[in-house]
Amino acid sequence: MILLDGKIASQSVKDELLLQVKKLKEEHKRVPHLAAILVGNNGASETYVASKVKNCSEIGFRSSLIRFDSDVNEDELLTAIIKLNNDEAIDGILVQLPLPKHISEQKVIETISPTKDVDGFHPINAGKLVQGFPVFVPATPYGVMLMLEHFNIDTQGKNAVVIGRSNIVGRPMSVLLSGNHKYGNCTVTICHSHTKNLEEICSQADILVSAIGNPGMIKANMVKQGAVIIDVGITRVDDATAVKGFRIKGDVDFNDVATKASALTPVPGGVGLMTIAGLLKNTMKAYLNK
């Protein structure tokens, strides 16, 4: 079985970006600049945003973290986004989701300029992705595609099953896998909470992408012999023996599924790292598009 190691694949993306940034610096040009907005202090969001900022600095990008209390009003947040839209020094903007209930995520997403929308969540970018003209591909499915590319996984004509239909992962993932390109051309089935016979459908998948957020739910009996398994689940599970009091678990029961899979992503150390790689590539793209 091949371990689809996100550390290796994401480092290769970052090495490429590092070289590009080095060249920009040699030419005395400014470097890409990402602005990240974090509302409140959700533990997982804090970790994700901190990691995004850290990775920017590792490859020589600039980043600005803009924080708001969880009771910030919607107008104040939208005004901050508009200011970033108009700021020539900023290339990419992301607002970490989820947001507090009193703020409309849709309004926030639609306020980010599509040219700076490095998460690829704006309906204009989502529409372009569906039509095969992507500008910014949402970072997690983009990261999965970069992972498939790094390990040269053959996808042509394969049966792919995606579990989850969110705008952040499942839906764009299904579009990418079915697209007419080298790491696409799959026959894609999307499963969700109303899917009947989930086990039977999954066990026909040559490529299975799970984005459910239900730790350890995917067992060997749901997996075809020799399948490629991509685990997008990142759930914090209480564990008193862990230093932080929790552990990160994926959707896939790794040891069980490893007995049948031909390739498998670990959690942690798999798709999570690729999400960052996707975001960094999008930020470079936003810079180059200017």
Residues tagged active-site: 52, 96, 119
Residues 31-90 that bind ligand GUN (CB under 6 A): none
**CB nearer to ligand GUN: pick between 138 and 260:** 138
Is residue 139 a contact point for ligand GUN (CB under 6 A)? Answer: yes
Is residue 283 a contact point for ligand GUN (CB under 6 A)? Answer: no
Q: Which of 119, 231, 251, 253 binds ligand GUN (CB under 6 A)?
A: 119
The residue number with the shortest CB distance to ligand GUN is 97
Q: Which of 140, 155, 203, 210 binds ligand GUN (CB under 6 A)?
A: 140
The dihedral formed by the CA atoms of 285, 142, 15 and 58, expressed in degrees to the nearest 10: 80
- Would you tell me how many other CB atoms lie within 10 Å of the CB of residue 13? 22
- Give min distance, CB of 169 to ligand GUN, in A: 8
Q: Which of 3, 8, 31, 97 binds ligand GUN (CB under 6 A)?
A: 97
> Smallest Cα–Cα separation from 231: which of 155, 147, 150?
147
Do 239 and 227 meet the contact criterion of CB atoms below 8 Å apart? no
**CB nearer to ligand GUN: pick between 29 and 67:** 67
- Give min distance, CB of 46 to ligand GUN, in A: 12
- Give min distance, CB of 1 to ligand GUN, in A: 28
Binding mask 151-190 for ligand GUN (x = CB under 6 A): -----------------x----------------------
- Give min distance, CB of 67 to ligand GUN, in A: 14
d(CA 42, CA 157): 41
The span of 22-30, 83-91, 92-100, 225-233 binding ligand GUN (CB under 6 A) equals 92-100
Is residue 258 a contact point for ligand GUN (CB under 6 A)? Answer: no
User: Which chain residues interact with ligand GUN by CB under 6 A?
Assistant: 94-97, 119, 139-140, 168, 275
